[in-house]
Amino acid sequence: MAVSEAQKRATKKWLDNNPYDRLSVFVPQGGKEQIKGKAAAEGESLNEYVNKAITARMGEDWRKDN
């Protein structure tokens, strides 16, 4: 299915103006599914689960603007 020009513009606008950084993480094969399963069991998204794990190690301060 082709992506419309309007969708491309909307995506670019969001990416250009969002307050988030992207982080790419490599895990051993099968690890992503294990993490997703654990997150689901906790009632969380993968993103929520990973952010909570980071906060547990680094504390709340890492979320604040530097």
Question: How confident is the model at residue 15, as a pLDDT?
Answer: 87
Position of tokens 């906790």? Answer: 42
Encode pLDDT of 1-43 as tens digits: 788 999 999 999 998 898 888 899 999 999 999 999 999 999 9
Confidence category of residue 65, pLDDT binned at 50, 70, 90 = low
pTM over 0.85, yes/no: no
Q: Do 55 and 47 meet the contact criterion of CB atoms below 8 Å apart? A: no
Confidence category of residue 61, pLDDT binned at 50, 70, 90 = confident
- Encoding tokens for residue 34? 């294990």
Question: How confident is the model at residue 37, as a pLDDT?
Answer: 98
